Structures are given as structure tokens and as C-alpha cells.
Structure 1
Amino acid sequence: MPVIYPVCAHFIYFLIPGSIDDCLCTFPSVTVLLTATTMPMLEIATNVPKEKVTPDVLTTLSKMVAEMLGKSESYCMVRVVPDQLMTFGGTTEPCAVTLFCSLGKIGVEENKTYAAKLFPYLEKTLGIPTDRMYIKFKDLKTSEIGYKGTTFHEILGR
């Protein structure tokens, strides 16, 4: 179980080595800090070097997330954690584990659409083959995300 450290309106998960999230599959040699401050959120842990993660990659991913979900980009967060010690299939070739969270708009058919857009983009820009990456989709409850000193449950009234 991850230890949660509150920081103002944000919460930071310190994830146990070997996992990216308590609800995600186990990956060897991965220790990642994730911050969840706004919605939606795309977080990518990868062994790709940070030089490949350009500002253009980040801003393009942010626009993609907003467009795919039909949400304002002003609420989108994208975080790429490069240079991780990771293996996939027994090798250290480029690989990644991704967490894609949103308040709503996550489901069986939607996730297929998101995967169809994210996998090719990450392969093209970061050089991560589509068969060396997992994406965990998570539909969060409004009470699970803090923002501006409260939660989205209070902000949205549900």
C-alpha cells in the first residue's frame, strides 16, 4: 500500500518499489513519485532518457488528452518520468508504464480510442514500441482528487 503525503491541496503518492500504483500491474525496479493535482492526468514512467522528452512532446500530449476527453486543457496534467530503471519482457530496451486518470470519460470503448492514439504517438516521439508499454486507465471519483484546497466533490457538488 502506498504511503500518502499531503501537501497543501495536492497529494503525493510515494510508490513502493515494484509498483506504479496499488491498482496497477507490478513492474520490476520501478520507484516513481506521482503527483495528482488536477484532472485529467497522464503520467508516464519510462527508461527513455530525459533528452527525448522535449517541451513539444509534453505540450502535444496535453493537447491530445484535452481533445480526447473533450475537457479544457487548463485542467490537464501530463508528467513524464524519464530515466527510470525498468525492464519489460526481461530486457531494458525502451519501455513504459502509463497511468491515465480522469473524472469520467473512462470506459471500455473510450479506452480503446485513447490507446489507439497514445501508443503510436509515444512510439513515434519517444521510441517506445507499442508492445513494450502498458496503459492503466482509471476513472476516479470526485472525492479522490484534491484541488484548490478542497476536492472536486465539493467543487462539482457530486
Structure 2
Amino acid sequence: MPTLRLLTNATVAPETRPELLASASKRVAELLGKPESYVLVILEAGADLLFGGNDEPAAYVELKSIGLPESRTAEFARALCGWLGDALKIDPQRVYIEFSSPPRHLFGWNNATF
């Protein structure tokens, strides 16, 4: 159930979206050591974002995963900011990331919960 939600005001051309989504999915699976078949990536490009009083490229990211290791969130932040810098040219100082590890009984899938 690893889920990455990316909201950004950066321009993402329609023809580059599949590659960006695939890259994000692979990155999340590698970071968390979970099968990519469970990873969900949500891209909301072209969002209205104002960060630090200006509209330069910025991003808000949510990374959710059952059992997300809190001791590794700094490592995940570096990896995700690096990926956003490479993929969308977003400065790490213009990225907020929210990490969460929902309890198994509060996340549903396939007619049940985890």
C-alpha cells in the first residue's frame, strides 16, 4: 500500500507523465523495500502552489506506507528531494514532505483491510 502523492506547480508535459510516474513508482518501491505491484503514485501537476511567497517550482509530497520506518524518514527525504530535483528541477528548499504510517486496520484494499 505504499502511496506517493505529488502536488506540484511545475509544468509536466503530458508526454512525460508516464515516465515520471514510472520513475516515482520504482523509486518508492526501492526506498521502502516493497513490491512495486503494491505502489500507488498520484501526480497532481499544475497545482496552484505558493511557497515562501512566490510561485517558483515547488512540491508537496505525501509518502504513506504501513510500517514506514520513522528512523529512515531523513534518508527518504533526501532521496525524494534528489529525485524531484532531477526529474522536475525543484529545489529541495521548496519541497515539503509528509510521512505517515497508517495502522493496518485503517487502510483498505481488495474488499478488506491490511
TM-score of the superposition, structure 2-length normalised? 0.93
**In the TM superposition, what is the alpha-carbon distance from 1:54 to its structure 2 partner?**
2.4
Show the 5 A alignment for 1:109-128: 109-128=71-90
Amino acid at match of 2:35: S
Aligned-partner Cα distance in 2 for 1:118–1:86: 19
Rg larger for: 1
Alignment partner of 1:59 is 2:22: yes
Aligned-partner Cα distance in 2 for 1:89–1:49: 19
Aligned-partner Cα distance in 1 for 2:82–2:36: 21
Does the aligned pair in 1 maintain the 2:68–2:100 contact within 8 Å?
Answer: no
The size of the alignment, in residue pairs, is 113
Gaps of 5+ in 1: 1-38, 153-158
Aligned-partner Cα distance in 2 for 1:50–1:145: 30
Runs of 4+ aligned residues of structure 1 deviating over 6 Å after TM superposition are none
Q: Choose the corresponding residue for 1:73, options 24, 30, 36.
A: 36
TM-score of the superposition, structure 1-length normalised? 0.68
Amino acid at match of 1:151: T
Aligned-partner Cα distance in 2 for 1:93–1:116: 20
Amino acid at match of 1:62: S
Q: Tell me how large the CA RMSD over aligned residues is.
A: 1.3
**In the TM superposition, what is the alpha-carbon distance from 1:95 to its structure 2 partner?**
0.6
Greater relative contact order: 1 or 2 (C-alpha under 8 angstroms, separation 6 or more)?
2
Higher helix share: 2
Report SS of the residue matched to 2:13. Answer: helix
Amino acid at match of 1:149: N
Identity between Structure 1 and Structure 2 (%): 35
Show the 5 A alignment for 1:38-57: 39-51=1-13, 54-57=17-20
